[in-house]
């Protein structure tokens, strides 16, 4: 079974500072990797995705993530955060359902990023 | 813009009641999903549907059922609500072949007393 671990449940950071949100996964097969963001009182939206190719992927709002196969990691980074980046961030991996008929997303437990003025 | 709407933002029900959560998407997506979101546990898949009248169990289907009679609508049913089903319920949809690129509704916070 695949699993996703987000090592930090809460990350406070000052405005304009850099941030890294950590994500590790376990899988015996190739995976697709994703970061979703949930702003307060809203549903999740896709921030970025790794399917294949370049291991550095860029997403919306200045975020990027790097796929590291040897470390089984997919950490999310932003060089300078804004107050508006305050949200919960979920790492996710795409796996096969037990029936083999489709691929579902398995989510991590989430990291609450709070940007302080 | 894809829009996924859920019938209620907040719902309070009593133990033993039958509860219906409705989800509608307006982009003709084939796939629809129901998740529950709990603090510290992230999102867990309850059920998934890849076509009208078709469904697949997710990770935690016990105590839930689903119905998809029309392509745009996917209902989650709690046959006999229990207090451990108090949670945030999120609906999502995606096009066929892009199962992982999901569009989410705003969620329904269900409290069972």
**Domain residue limits at A105:** 3-116
Structure tokens at B72: 């745009």
pLDDT class for B70, splitting at 50, 70, 90? Answer: very high
C-beta atoms of B48 and A97 within 8 A? yes
Contacts of residue A34 in chain B, CB cutoff 8 Å? 100
CATH number, position B22: 2.60.40.10
Please say whether the beta carbons of A37 and A89 come within 8 A: yes
User: What is the rounded distance in angstroms from the CA atom of residue A49 to the CA atom of residue A67?
Assistant: 10
- Does residue B111 fall inside a structural domain? no
Q: Which has the closest alpha carbon to B34: B83, B95, B75, B80?
A: B75
Say yes or no for a CB contact (<8 Å) between A103 and B100: yes
pLDDT at site A5? 94
Domain residues for the domain of B70 are 4-8+15-77+86-97
Chain A: residue nearest B57 by CA? A97
- Mean pLDDT within A88-103: 75
Q: Which of A46, A101, A109 sits opposite B101 (nearest CB)?
A: A46
In the predicted model, is pLDDT for residue B93 greater than 70? yes
Q: With contact defined as beta carbons under 8 Å apart, do B25 and B47 qualify?
A: no
CATH number where A58 lies: 2.60.40.10
pLDDT band at A95 (very low <50, low <70, confident <90, very high): confident
% chain A with pLDDT above 70:
91
User: How many domains is chain A partitioned into structurally?
Assistant: 1
Question: If contacts are CB pairs under 8 Å, which of residues 38-67 in chain B contact chain A?
Answer: 40-45, 48, 50, 56, 58
pLDDT per residue as tens digits for the range A15-64 = 999 999 999 998 777 788 999 999 988 889 999 999 888 899 999 999 99
Q: Is B72 inside any structural domain?
A: yes
- Burial (0-12, 13-18, 19+ Cβ within 10 Å), B103: buried
Chain centre distance of CA B27: 17
Q: What is the structure's pLDDT at A97? A: 57
> What is the predicted pLDDT for the residue at B98?
73
| A105: chain B residues, CB-CB within 8 Å | 43, 45, 99-100, 102
Residue B104 falls within a domain, yes or no?
A: no
> Rounded distance, CA B108 to CA B100, Å?
22
- Compute chain B's Rg from CA coordinates: 13
B106 contacts on A by Cβ (under 8 Å): 41-43
**Does residue B107 sit within a domain?**
no
| Structural domains of chain B, count | 1
- Comparing CA positions, the residue from A33, A6, A30, A26 lying closest to residue A89 is A6
pLDDT at position A100: 56
User: B13 near B19, Cβ under 8 Å?
Assistant: yes
CB contact under 8 A, B104 and A49: no
pLDDT value, residue A44: 92
Q: How far, in Å, CA of A90 to CA of A110, rounded? A: 5
pLDDT, one tens digit per residue, over B1-37 is 668 999 899 999 999 999 999 999 998 999 999 999 9
């Amino acid at each position: 079974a695949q699993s996703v671990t987000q090592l930090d449940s809460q990350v406070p950071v000052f405005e304009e500072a850099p941030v890294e949100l950590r994500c590790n996964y376990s899988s015996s097969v190739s995976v697709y990797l994703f970061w979703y963001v949930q702003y307060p009182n809203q549903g999740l939206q896709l921030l970025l995705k790794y399917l294949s190719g370049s291991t550095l992927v860029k997403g919306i709002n200045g975020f990027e993530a790097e796929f590291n196969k040897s470390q089984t990691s997919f950490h999310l980074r932003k060089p300078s955060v804004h107050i508006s980046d305050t949200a919960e961030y979920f790492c996710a991996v795409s796996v096969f359902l037990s029936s083999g008929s489709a691929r579902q997303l398995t989510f991590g437990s989430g990291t609450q990023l709070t940007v302080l003025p | 813009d894809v829009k996924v709407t859920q019938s209620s933002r907040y719902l309070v029900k009593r133990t033993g009641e039958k509860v219906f959560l409705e989800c509608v998407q307006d982009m003709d997506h084939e796939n629809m999903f129901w998740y529950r979101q709990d603090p510290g546990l992230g999102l867990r898949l309850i059920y998934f549907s890849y076509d009208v009248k078709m469904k697949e169990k997710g990770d935690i289907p016990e105590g839930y059922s689903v119905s998809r009679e029309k392509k745009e609508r996917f209902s989650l049913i709690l046959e006999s609500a229990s207090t451990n089903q108090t949670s945030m319920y999120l609906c999502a949809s995606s096009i066929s072949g892009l199962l992982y690129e999901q569009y989410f509704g705003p969620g329904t916070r269900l409290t069972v007393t």
